[in-house]
Amino acid sequence: MEAHFEIGESTYLISDDKKLIDLESVHRFLSNDSYWCLGIPLETVAKSIENSLCIAVYQNKSLVGFSRIVSDYSTFAYLCDVFVLQEYRGKGISKSMIKFIMQHPYLQDLRRWMLMTKDAHLLYKQFGWNELSNPEKAMEISKLNIYL
């Protein structure tokens, strides 16, 4: 699935075609610039892309945004590794990407979506996301800084 959208004078392509993904660009951002997986190995990023639904945004065939959805496509989806490169932020690209994800045909009628974010709550709230309704039911195993 893919679509084109315009922001100002610029045209972007948004796509779930993994063949278009620039693995090195995704790895560079995640391993160097993200707060959630600094130092992640290239092989781990490649495996995560292989086993996920990935949505990426391109301008002139260059990757400018990326996200990954882990799902059974029936009941649950976990949205992760969402980013827009620094020089493209503030233009509405993340909104276009989240809208595309929420409308993706593989991800309709799910019982639960989850994500973790430190600073993008206002973005996700525009698309119906909320804090956990029953946080006392949630549990995790968290291995912080596993890649460092």
Match 């709550």 to its residue by tokens: 121
Tokens representing 132 are 């956990």
What's the confidence (pLDDT) of residue 41?
Answer: 97
Domains in the chain: boundaries: 2-137
- The amino acid sitting at 85 is L
d(CA 145, CA 106): 32
What's the confidence (pLDDT) of residue 92?
Answer: 94
pLDDT in tens, the chain (148 residues): 999 999 989 999 999 999 999 999 999 999 999 999 999 999 999 999 999 999 999 999 999 999 999 999 999 999 999 999 999 999 999 999 999 999 999 999 999 999 999 999 999 999 999 999 999 999 999 998 899 8
2-137 CATH pick, 3.40.630.30, 3.10.150.10, 2.60.40.1180, 3.40.1710.10: 3.40.630.30
